[in-house]
Every structure is written in structure tokens, then in C-alpha cells.
Chains A and B, each alone.
Chain A
Amino acid sequence: MEQGLIEYNPKKKKNRFLRHYQLFLLIVPALIFVFIFNYLPMYGIVIAFQDFSPVDDILSPNANWIGFANFTRFFNDYRFATLFKNTFLLCIYGFLVGFPLPIIVALLLNSLKSKKMSERLQTIFYAPHFISLVVLVGMLYLFFGEYGLVNNLLTYLNLNKYSFFLEPDAFRPLYILSSNWQDFGWSSIIYLAALSGVDPQLHEAAIMDGASRLKRILHIDLPAIFPTISVLLILSIGNLMSVGYEKVILMQTTANSSVSEIIATYVYKIGFVGSGEYGYATAIGLFNSVINVVLLIIANILARKFSNNSLW
């Protein structure tokens, strides 16, 4: 908003801040919030380099500094490769399904003739977003559990039961599809908002020229939301390796843990459950964050190179 004003401002740079101090004031609460909740707690990452017990002070002078020992321990852990692979695969599959889906849905909804129908479908699509994670996983157990709806149906049809929660092969599809079922409608809102900004004259002109519906989607709608797509793409690549532990923990059984043990769940187990190795857990979490930052930077560089849209 300010940028727009600044461009039309003929005055010198000096006065810019004073003239628009109200606008800067508006941004202050957000800055304070980010500082307090995102930057201030960050000093805690120093315990990744300590042998830290829960009763220690994070910045105590007699902290037991151990350098990179926590990191080497993780790299030498027999689980390292599996954890890395499981996290990566879960995220990349989730990304491959979950990124295009809302775009497609938004394009389809937007090109529906009946506006009323489109609104109704939107409501239906984003309703599952409000189901809590715990309830969602509870539903999964009711539907796909050993004695759940699907298996009862299979037994009724004299087919073999399938143990969705015990087969490692079933974990990722179940996780990814349920997540996407829950969130595709919600994520499409941002694209629908971008689509509503498309000038209707473009569509009218295209119709006059005899363009089909598909052609209009490809040549008008898609280019219109392309900047949004690329920004969201960069952001989601930056988040590629970060997946919340909550749902995975809830869906985890010993039988599927060969694929469902990911970095986040391991950090949770190391840090909170068991003997509370905060230092080790923080080191693993920090390592994960570093990967995310690297991915984000790469994605941003690529985006800047191939299009004009980038975060910085």
C-alpha cells in the first residue's frame, strides 16, 4: 500500500516517513508480534550445541558446550537416512498432489456458468478445513481401521480385509489424500481471489473471437494467476521439509513406523517423550530448518531467473 503511495509522491525521500507516519504505525504491531514470537525465542537454538538437561538455563555461564556433537550423533544414527527419506517422500508426494489440486479446483469453479452453484460448491469444499486434526484421524480410524467401515464392507462382500493402519504402503496415500481432502477447498480461496481480479472484458473479447472454455482458462485465467502461483510455489518449496508431527504421530503404529517415522516425530519423541534430550532434539530440528532455508533460497533464485516473480 505504502509503495503505491510513495510512487505518486513528488516530495523528497526525507519527508516520506513523516508524511506517512500513520501508515508505518499500522505496521508496528505486526513487527512487534513477529519479533516477540518468531525472533526472540530463536536464541534457544544455542542448546543444539549443548549437552542440555531440562533443568538447565539456556544461557547459563556454566552450560556444557559440546560443539557439533549432537549433529554428528544424528548423522551417525542408523535412522538418519530413513528419517530423511520418509520426510522427503511424504512431503514431495504431498506437494505433487496438493499443489496443483487447488489451482485446478479454482479454475474449474471460476469457469462454472452458475455463480450460485460455484458458491455452494466452494462452501462444501472448504467445510472439512474446520475439522480438528484429532477428529480427522479419529474419522480415518472409523473408516479405515481394522474393524472400520471399509473393512466391514469388504468382509460383507467376502473380500479380504486390508489393514490400512498396519500396511506401510497405505500410510502415505492415507495421509496425503486425507490432508488434501481437508484442505484443497481452503487453499483454492486464494486463487479464486486472484481470478476475481481478471478483467471480464478479456473473456468477452475471447468469446467474440470464438475461444473455447478450455482456451480461455489456458490463455486468460492461468496467466492472470501465474504470479500468485509462483509466489506460493516458492513458499511451499521453502516448507517442503517441514511437516507437522501431530497428524503423523496420531496415525503412527509400530507396523507402519518404517515409513511414518519422520524428522518431526523423531524430534518430538527425543525431546518430549523419554529422557528429554533437548539438545539433541534441537540439533535435529535446526538441521531440518537449515535444509528448508537452502531449498527456499534455491527456489527463489530459480523463480527470479525464469520469471519476474520472487520473494526478494
Chain B
Amino acid sequence: MKKKIGLSALLIVMSLLSSCGGGNQTSTSGDDLESLGYQYLDTSAPIVATKNTVSYRILSSKNALAENYNDMLIFKNLYDSTNVNVNWDNISESAYAARKNLIMSDKANYPDAIYHAGFSDKEIIQYSTKKVILPIDKYLDNMPNFKAILERRPDIRRILESPDGHIYSLPRVEEMGLLAYPNLLFLNKVWVKDLINSGDIDFLTEEDLKDGLSLSLTDFEKILTLFKTKDMNKNGRNDEIPLSFVFQNWQGNQSDLYAAFGVPENTDHRTIINEKVVFTAVDDKFKEATNYYANWVTKGLIDKEVFSQSQDAFLAKGKASDQRLGSFYWWESETVVKNPEDYICLDPLIGLNGEQYVGVANNPEISKGNFVIFSKTKNPEILLTYIDRFYDPVISAQINYGPIGIVYEEELDDKGMLVQKPIPEGLTADEFRLKNAPLGLIYLSYNEWETVVHMEPRAKLRIERLDQFVKPYVYPGAKPIPPVSYTLAEINKLATIELNLYDYVNQNLTNWLLQGGVSDSAWNNYKAQLNNIGLNEALSIYQAAYDRYKAD
């Protein structure tokens, strides 16, 4: 049965690849670099002398909203400026996730490279030891932009290096200081104002209803309960959702609710406190918090659908004709609700013991595994020089946000920086960006925001909000876990532990929250089971890797 499914899936992938790439296979065989007029030193001149001499096939997943990469203006422009033709082979993100292994096992139909590869440490090691993917560091001289970055930033080099000392994948670097804080709590102030006016709430006045309001858990619960029982949107139906978010999503998740109990939680359930890697989901305060919020779920204050809804379903809720959302966690209110002016941004909730904290997420600003190139690729120098252009700051900005002419004005401003055009009517900032920008390989460090490109207005707004309402409340000593490197033995060990560990924790957590909480005996069993699965081993591996990272 399984064999047959595997076989047929393989056939589908094979036919897909051959139909998309047919006739456009690498045509550089036999051509040596010199006769092609290859050059890499001048980073604005063409890479090969004439068009139609070299062509590569890059497989890439793409966001559902994005245009086909072959039609994207930024890639057409790159072709004109480099003379290197790239045929993009797009598949959807979910299809890529399910087919990645099949693509790798289909040796006859390898593309030349994979963009948005999403390779884990384990995959990079697995494929590099079999010599399927190419060590990129051998061609560093052919990549002037990237080489300069690595020389400037030894920390990035350290993150990229595999245990054997080679670099097999290219990074994405986007430093804005945002990713560690993916949650902001928004509250519908119009509804609260109605409650104040009707006399249901006496602990707040209308003047309090502005950004930066601090609420205790008990007061917040009172508000949510009133949202639930009163017909706040006056449509005659009990369809109000007091508090919503997306459980375990990378942004807008449940973490900060736990932080109010003094657990600096994130979706990985691990963080660094005072240089020690800590697993949050075994803390007794974690149990307390779970029991407390399970009660909210039972009472309907937290929408049960947070456990099964996708990000899209969540975003659709806030756009309904009658507003249903009383409060929600997300990075910004603008993408979630159609009336963001009615929502205020709260400070973190004050816990039962007066604690007012947030945790930090481990989303890395420097991520590896985004691009790999296959060993069988002919003239990899040319392709790598082409890809190196992505690390030019002006190109990086266009890769990340959209091309000059569509997203950015043709003219630079007086500081010589790119200026964003207004967003067309009927599109949100997210939709406009995802349609026109491939995202992926970029280098936009703190420096580039001062010299090359203005941040998106919404990113600036986000930073302002985070600076006021989140960053001052970070749990003392808490830090995100940086993208550390593991040894081969550690990677193999973690591969067998992590899947089980996180499945077990998240499954139990969901059940407890949905079924009214966790008893002490169930909690003890759970902790014992975690040790059986290998929590302590995993923690010591994380700690060792982090210590090495610091020592470097």
C-alpha cells in the first residue's frame, strides 16, 4: 500500500518536473566559463556575455498569493542585468513540505538548485555527506557580495558552517529586532467603552482606553466575560469571540498568557534564562497557567477554534460584517480586523501575583538552509554569482518587499534610499508584498535600514509598539535561543527525541486546555514520561551547543 502511494507520488513529481522543465535543462554542457564570457568581479555588469547561452532550473516553493516567479518583474530585471536565464519551477508551500523527500530521491530529475529549501541541519548533513549538495564555500570568490558579508560578520559564517567546516546553504538575514516578540494584545475599545457607559465596568474610565493600558488577569477576565454574555456587536446573536489567537502559531500565539504566570513561554517551550537553556513546559507555574486558562476555554472566553484554525481562518474572522473579535493576539491589528482604529494595544497582562512579563520567541533573524545547489549542476560558478546578486542591498530589498516600479518609487529620496509607493486600493500590505516579492535570500542588517531602504510603515509601527508595550516587560534574563550549530552526533540524537518530545507536549497541552485542566497526578506522569522520551538529554545538548556558541 505504502509502496504504491510512494511510487505514484514519485510518478506525479517526475511528470511535474519533466513537464515544467522540459527542454530547459541546463544547456551549458561543454561550454567553458571563458568562452561564455563569465565574469564575477563587477557586481553590476552582466555575468555572461550574451543572453540565451546559460540557463538554470531552480525549484522553489512559493506562497499561494505570489505570482509565478517566472513572471515576477524582479527576476525579469535580474535576467536583463545578468544575462543568466533562470527557469523557476514553482510548487506550493504545502506541496513542497510533503514532497521534499521525494524530490531528493528522484535523482534523474534534480533541478540545479532549490530556493526556499528549508533544509534542517540534519538534511544538510545527510545530503552533504552523500555529496548530493555542493559545498558553497569553495566558490566564495565567485560571490563578492556574500564574501564581503561573511568577512564583515563572522557570526553569520559560524551559524552557516556544518560540522565539517563547509558551508552548504545560503542564509536569510533580516535584522529588525522584531522576530523575538511576535505577540501584541489588542482590545476592542468601543465595546469596553459601551460597558463603562452601561455601568458594567467600574474599574476603568473612558480616559484609560488608550494604547498602553495595563490590565490585571482578573479585570481582563471580567471584561471577556461581559463580552461573552452581552451582545456587544448588537446583531442579536451570541457570536462574540472574547479572546482569539492561533495556538502554537509563530505569531499571535498563546505564549504571553503563560508569561503572566512567570513562565517566559514561546512555541518551542524552551528559552534561555540567565544563560541556561530552560524547558518551560515542565515548570509548575506552567501547570498553574494551564489550569487557569483551561477555565477560560471552558467558559468560552477563549475561542475553542484557536486550536484547530489556520492563520487564514483567523484572519477571515476579523473581517466579518459584524465585528466578532473582542480581543486578540497578533503582530498588528491592521491585517486582522477591518476597523483597527477601534482597537487599543495593551501592555502585557498583570498576573495573579502582580507579575507583568512577556517571553521571547526563538524565531531567528539569521536563518540557514534557504538555498542549496546540487553537485551535478554544470558551471555552478555562474549560478552562484547570479544568486550572489540577491545579497546586494538594493536587490535584497526588492526580493523581500517587491521591485522598483511596483512597490518602490523609481527615484531615491534625498538620503539615497528606496521609497515605498502607496499600497493600491483593495489590497492589504501583506497581500501586496506577497504578490510581488519572492522573499528568501536577503541580507538586510540593522545598517541597511539606515542607508538603503526605509522599513515598511507597518514594520515601523510594529517596532514603536513593541518598544513601548512589549520589550520593557521581557522576563528578567530571558533571551531567545540563537541559531546554534550542533555536531553530527547531537543532530542524530535530537532527531530521535525532538519529534516525540514536541508532539507529546503539544498534544497534552491541547487536551488539558480543552478539558478543563490537568490533575496533579496527570502532571507528574507527564513529567516522568518527558524524561523517558529524553528531555534531559535534549536539554544538555541544547545547553552544550549554546555554550559553544557563546565561547566562539
Chain A interface residues (CB < 8 Å from chain B):
37, 41-42, 44-45, 53-56, 73, 77-79, 146-147, 155, 161, 163, 165-168, 242, 244, 253-255, 257-258, 267, 270-278, 281-282, 285
C-beta contact mask, B82-120 vs A, less than 8 Å → 1, else 0?
000000000000000111111011010000000000001
**A33 vs chain B, min Cβ distance (A):** 12
The answer to whether A55 touches B132, judged by C-beta atoms less than 8 angstroms apart, is: yes
Q: Are A242 and B1 neighbours in the complex by a CB distance under 8 Å?
A: yes
A41-B4, A44-B3, A253-B307 known; A258 vs B101 contact (CB < 8 Å): no
Residues of B within 8 A of A258 (CB): 507, 511
B308 touches which of A45, A155, A165, A271 (Cβ 8 Å): A165
Question: Is B209 among interface residues, defined by CB-CB distance under 8 A?
Answer: no
Residue of B1, B102, B507 touching A54 (CB-CB under 8 A): B102
Interface string of B468-508 (1 = CB under 8 A from A): 00000000000000000000000000011001100110110
Question: Which 4 A-B pairs give the minimum distances between C-beta atoms?
Answer: A276-B101, A54-B105, A54-B104, A253-B308
Determine, out of B41-49, B121-129, B148-156, the stretch whose residues face the partner at the interface.
Answer: B121-129
- Interface pair A275/B130, CB less than 8 Å apart: no
Docked-complex contact A55 and B122, CB < 8 angstroms: no
Bound-state Cα–Cα, A281 to B5, Å: 13
Q: In terms of DSSP, what is the predominant structure of the interface of chain A?
A: loop
Q: Which of A41, A53, A275 contacts B3 (CB 8 A)?
A: A41
Q: Given the known A-B contacts A53-B130, A255-B308, are A41 and B107 also in contact in the complex, defined by CB atoms under 8 Å?
A: no
Closest to A53 in B: B126
* Interface of B (DSSP majority class): helix
Interface contact A41-B7, CB-CB below 8 Å: yes
Could you tell me if A166 and B101 are in contact, using CB atoms closer than 8 angstroms?
no
Residues 302-334 of chain B, each 1 if its beta carbon lies under 8 Å from chain A, else 0: 001101100000000000000000000000000
Q: How far is the CA of A73 from the CA of B495 in the complex (A)?
A: 12
Contact with A along B1-20 (1 / 0, CB 8 A): 11110110100000000000
Q: Decide yes or no whether B536 CB sits under 8 A from chain A.
A: no
Residue on A nearest B129 in the bound complex, by CB? A53
- Assess whether A166 is in contact with B7, with CB atoms less than 8 Å apart: no
> How distant is A40 from chain B, measured CB to nearest CB, in Å?
10
Cα distance A244–B5 when bound, in Å? 11
Q: Please, which residue of chain A has its CB at the minimum distance from the CB of B132?
A: A55
Taking the closest CB of chain B, its distance from the CB of A164, in whole angstroms, is 10
Given contacts A54-B102, A55-B105, A155-B238, 17 further A-B contacts (CB under 8 A): A41-B3, A45-B3, A55-B127, A146-B305, A147-B305, A163-B514, A165-B308, A166-B308, A167-B514, A253-B307, A254-B308, A254-B507, A255-B510, A257-B503, A258-B511, A271-B101, A272-B9
B3 and A255 contacting across the interface, CB-CB below 8 Å: no
Q: Is the CB of A275 within 8 A of B308?
A: no
Does B70 have its Cβ within 8 Å of any Cβ on chain A? no
The answer to whether A254 touches B506, judged by C-beta atoms less than 8 angstroms apart, is yes
B residues near A255, Cβ cutoff 8 Å:
307-308, 510-511, 514
Given contacts A78-B500, A254-B247, contact A272 B101 (CB under 8 A): yes
Is the Cβ of B304 less than 8 Å from the Cβ of A166?
yes
Tell whether A42 pairs with B308 under 8 Å between CB atoms, given A168-B511, A255-B514: no
Residue ID in chain B nearest A56 by CB atoms: B130
> Which one of A55, A253, A254 contacts B107 once the chains associate, using CB atoms below 8 Å?
A55
Cβ-closest chain B residue relative to A38 = B4
Q: Is the CB–CB distance between B97 and A273 below 8 Å?
A: yes
Query: Does B24 sit within 8 A of A, measured CB to CB?
Result: no
Q: How many angstroms from the CA of A42 to the CA of B4 in the assembled complex?
A: 10
Determine the chain B residues whose CB is within 8 A of the CB of A77 once the complex forms: 500
Contacts A253-B307, A255-B510 hold; do A73 and B127 have CB atoms under 8 A apart? no
Contacts of A78 in B (CB 8 A): 500, 504, 529, 532-533
User: Bound complex: CA of A178 vs CA of B260, how far in Å?
Assistant: 43
A163 with B2: in contact, given A55-B130, A155-B238 (CB under 8 Å)? no
Question: In the complex, are the beta carbons of A272 and B514 less than 8 A apart?
Answer: no
- In chain A, what residue has the closest Cβ to B3? A41
User: In the complex, what distance in Å separates the CA atom of A224 from the CA atom of B1?
Assistant: 33
**Shortest Cβ distance from residue B162 to the other chain A in the assembled complex, whole angstroms:** 15
The answer on a CB contact under 8 Å between B304 and A146 is yes
Question: Could you tell me the distance in whole angstroms from the C-beta of B542 to the nearest C-beta in chain A?
Answer: 18
A42 with B3, Cβ < 8 A, contacts A258-B511, A272-B98 known: yes
In whole angstroms, what is the CA distance A45 to B4 when docked? 12
Q: Contacts of B127 on A, CB cut-off 8 Å?
A: 53, 55
Q: Which residue of A lies closest to B513 (CB)?
A: A255
| Pairs across A and B, CB under 8 Å, 13 listed | A53-B126, A55-B107, A77-B500, A78-B500, A163-B514, A166-B304, A255-B511, A258-B511, A267-B2, A275-B120, A275-B122, A277-B495, A278-B101
* Docked-complex contact A73 and B496, CB < 8 angstroms: yes
Q: Across the interface, name the chain B residue whose C-beta is closest to A42.
A: B3
